[in-house]
Chain A
Amino acid sequence: MHRRARGARVSAPLLKVEGLRKAYPGVVANDDVSFQIMPGEVHALLGENGAGKSTLVKMIYGLVRPDAGRMTLNGASYRPATPHAARASGVAMVFQHFSLFEALDVAENVALGMENPPPQRRLARRIREVSETYGLPLDPTRLVGELSAGERQRVEIVRCLLQDPKLLIMDEPTSVLTPQEVEILFETLRRLQAEGTSILYISHKLEEIRALCDEATILRLGQVVGVCDPKSTSAREMAELMVGSALHTPSRAARPPGEAVLEIGGLSMKSSNPFGTALRDVSLEVRAGEVVGIGGVAGNGQDELLAALSGEARSGAQTVRLNGQPVGNLGPNVRRRLGLLAAPEERLGHAAAPDMTLTENALLTGAVREGLVARGFLKWAAARGFAERIIADFDVRTPGPGNAARALSGGNLQKFVIGREILQRPICLVVNQPTWGVDASAAAAIRQALLDLAEGGAAVLVISQDLDELMEISDRFAALNEGRLSDPRPAQGLSVEEIGLMMGGAHDMEVAHVQG
């Protein structure tokens, strides 16, 4: 709506990057990267994990110094030595992972990121002004711990906007937002754009880039492989440029639903985390051969639901049933033995132990079903074999099973975590955020693996904040809102508005209305 006509651009570029190169021992992260951003342009940076996007923006934001090449900002030479210098030059960045303190309120968090914070009251007023100007509803006095992911992102954005940036870098900003929140964000970005602020937008969601960006630079293996106008290029073409080969989209044959495998009935449970969300009367049935997707904004009970199903949190025996057998009061390993497996969202520290080797991490959940333990003693050779099988079958790129989990990239570790559960042939698999922060080809492989698992007759429950993903692989869809689960509905034919309403908690009215 506030979009500028492309022909109107006559001014000089705001940021010009020429021949940027950065090498780390053993890997060239960026090689001869050149592109430019015009004032008021929304410029997309596309690429798989490891393509060099992060290194590139880190160089622009002064976190990393390039080995060669030069940058000019507004015609002047630009060599930020620190993020502080970058901010002083008018470059701001919103990171994918927020750096906020949950126990502090919004204004305090904003003040912590500022060089010379004004008094709290004036800062609060400024925050209110900025948030109103740009359509970012935010109460400066609320504790960050109580905010949703979308609201937390707003805190980060407002923190940047208070510095009046000329260039705003946004790293995967929509991965945690509902469709409605995405719309609010886009509205904000367009307003900023209309005021002449340039935006460097990093994402792997091609539809978003098509909706928002004026130009896209595509990176692969550290080099620029293409520049295109996203509005006139199809998402598929961009994806293929990004991946460098024809993209494999998950596919599946339609099949009749089987028997109910996982039954959740009237599950209510407090969260073990003081900032968590209690589950309230959650009921759901997942049938054999079916993928049920659970959407919802982060922090609405996803972690708690996973814990209740994995056995980390126990409830009444009858609230969770597997093939008719009550398992709600059983621990994780007993559930595993029965065939109910889970993969939590947090890869490092929850699904896997960062400092342990892949062999040890294979043992972490595989001990029971893979028979890696005999009378309490570990069978290291068997554990190693299991780890090797995961690495081979799921194309995990690592020198070997003796490597520590934290040495793997996010996508590779995620493939390992999901592969570890799938190779154990679950009757029912529950995964939370299976492709969070994972590059496009790894994400496609993981989704295909989940579909294949369902194809083989397992019940699959996917909790995710990526709606495209859920729409792509789910047979039925339900949404979590403040710990309540909406009634599941067939995923096919659901409109974005309907999904948004389900995620916003208005499903009851809606369903009553439709059925009444």
Chain B
Amino acid sequence: MIRLEKRPQPSRGWSYVTPVLAVLVTMVAGGALFAVLGKDPVLAIRTIFYDPLFGEFAWYFRGQLLVKAGPLILIAIGLSLGFRAGIWNIGAEGQYIIGAICGAAVGLALYPMEARWLVFPLMILAGVLGGLGWAMIPAILKTRFNTNEILVSLLLVYVAEQILASMALGLLRNPEGSGFPGSRNLSQYEAAANHELIAGTGMHWGVVAAFIAVIFAYVLLNRHMLGFQIRLTGQSPRAARFAGVRPNRLVLFCLGTAGALAGLAGMFEVSGPSGQITIDFNSGYGFTAIIVAFLGRLHPVGILLAGLLLALTYIGGEAAQSNLGLPAAAIQAFQGMLLFFLLAVDMLTNYRIRIGKSEVA
């Protein structure tokens, strides 16, 4: 008989092994799924995981990797702080949209001013404040009226999408765009553009910000009192209150940071890879970042790796769609499997499997 036995303390080794194991199991299960769809599973897995990095067109895909991973990491780092403290911000997508709108709005308002030293920093600031402000709505409602931040932040995503559509069609529409929806292209406005910093690498300011966020979060969580309080609150809210943590301040900090980083990601996206505010500007980074945060075990370095991995499945998934004709839904299912298996094998960190006679201790 197989049974689970709780470990006296979480296994360190397993907490590192489980994400790798989850990826491997996902490859197997995903391969099976692709086989059922009538595709060669080995080829499909190879197209998703190998070709973007080492295949014929790797020169193009490698750059895309950082472009996709940057916002994912930036948003996931912010989310992970809250998740560590048991504060569930599900609305990063909305904060990302509002950050992008605010950043773009400042850039467009200053058009065609040429002072990049002024325009670009102001846009960054606007992006941060936009995301922060949007995240403050669930934060303040929670601290004042004890509302559920999961619901409020999630519903605000749909509000943000409506605002995005209205902006793309109205206030921010390109006056020289012959009436088409969508703003002026910021990546063609020198003072506001978020260019690739090193040609061919995909490295832009958003990626730099993501790396800085990783380091910042690492130091915060491991060396700073605030990080300690975040971890303590997540593990043991009563002990945290006993230790003098003020839960409301923590809610404001965690939601605020997550919102600011999501807003930042949105701003870098709209001024760089995307270039303009359009109706469908958002592409789900805010939601995918939740997977990234958990896949990375809410650990900054883990999130960095998970962000790269998920970006790879995005790029490889697109390649698999165009080259092998795999349906988009199959790719999404594949990404979902990753989170599913991660959560499933996660139990090995806290439990060990015993095979033998049953005994309740």
Contacts and interface: CB of A to CB of B under 8 A. Distances in A.
Contact of A355 (B9, B223, B357): B9
B223 A378 contact: yes
Interface stretch (A236-244, A251-259, A346-354, A479-487): A346-354
A65 B227 CA distance: 45
Nearest to B243: A364
**B: interface residue count bin:** 20 to 34
Interface string A315-335: 000000000000000011100
A404 B7 CA distance: 11
A420 to B, nearest CB: 12
Contact of A378 (B225, B238, B243, B357): B225
Contacts of A344: 242
Contact of B244 (A311, A355, A356): A311
Given A373-B225, A407-B9, A350 B238 contact: yes
Interface in B66-104: none
Interface in A378-402: 378, 380
Given A63-B361, A344-B242, A404-B9, A376 B235 contact: no
A451 interface: no
A156 to B, nearest CB: 19
A415 interface: no
B236 A377 contact: no
Contact of A346 (B10, B235, B238, B243): B238
A24 B89 CA distance: 44
B116 interface: no
A332 B242 contact: yes
A403 B9 contact: yes
A376 B228 contact: no
A351 B242 contact: yes
B242 A356 contact: no
Contacts of A365: 242-243
A87 interface: no
Contacts of B359: 64-65
A353 B235 contact: yes
Contacts of B238: 346, 349-350
A380 B357 CA distance: 44
Contacts of A350: 236, 238-239, 242
Contacts of B235: 353-356
A53 to B, nearest CB: 15
B360 A377 contact: no
Contact of A333 (B10, B244, B361): B244
B319 to A, nearest CB: 42
B310 to A, nearest CB: 27
B51 to A, nearest CB: 41
A406 B9 contact: yes
A353 B224 contact: no
A367 B242 contact: no
Residue from B223, B242, B359 having most chain A Cβ neighbours under 10 A: B242
Contacts of B243: 332-333, 364-365, 367
B179 interface: no
Interface in B9-39: 9-10
A154 interface: no
A64 B361 contact: yes
Contacts of A82: 360
A364 B232 contact: yes
Contacts of B224: 376-378
A311 B224 CA distance: 23
Contacts of B10: 355, 404
A332 B8 CA distance: 31
Nearest to B219: A377
B356 to A, nearest CB: 12
Nearest to A383: B228
A331 B246 contact: yes
B226 interface: yes
A310 interface: yes
A53 B307 CA distance: 51
B225 A65 contact: no
B303 to A, nearest CB: 20
Contact of A363 (B8, B9, B228, B242): B228
B244 A376 contact: no
Given A354-B235, A378-B228, A310 B242 contact: yes
B239 A349 contact: yes
B37 to A, nearest CB: 42
A129 interface: no
A365 B226 CA distance: 14
Interface string A143-184: 000000000000000000000000000000000000000000
Interface string A64-86: 11000000000000000010000
B241 interface: yes
Interface in B217-255: 223-226, 228, 231-232, 235-236, 238-244, 246
A215 interface: no
A336 interface: yes
A99 B241 CA distance: 26
A352 B225 contact: no
Q: Which 10 A-B pairs have the closest CB atoms?
A: A333-B244, A353-B236, A332-B244, A404-B9, A350-B238, A353-B239, A364-B243, A407-B8, A353-B235, A376-B225
19 contacts: A63-B361, A64-B360, A332-B244, A350-B236, A353-B235, A353-B239, A354-B235, A354-B236, A355-B10, A355-B236, A360-B228, A364-B242, A365-B243, A378-B225, A378-B228, A380-B223, A404-B9, A406-B9, A407-B9
Given A58-B361, A333-B244, A355-B10, 10 more contacts: A64-B359, A65-B359, A346-B238, A349-B238, A353-B232, A355-B235, A356-B236, A360-B232, A364-B232, A380-B223
Interface of A: 58, 63-65, 82, 310-312, 331-333, 336, 342, 344, 346, 349-356, 360, 363-365, 367-368, 373, 376-378, 380, 403-404, 406-407
Interface of B: 8-10, 223-226, 228, 231-232, 235-236, 238-244, 246, 357, 359-361
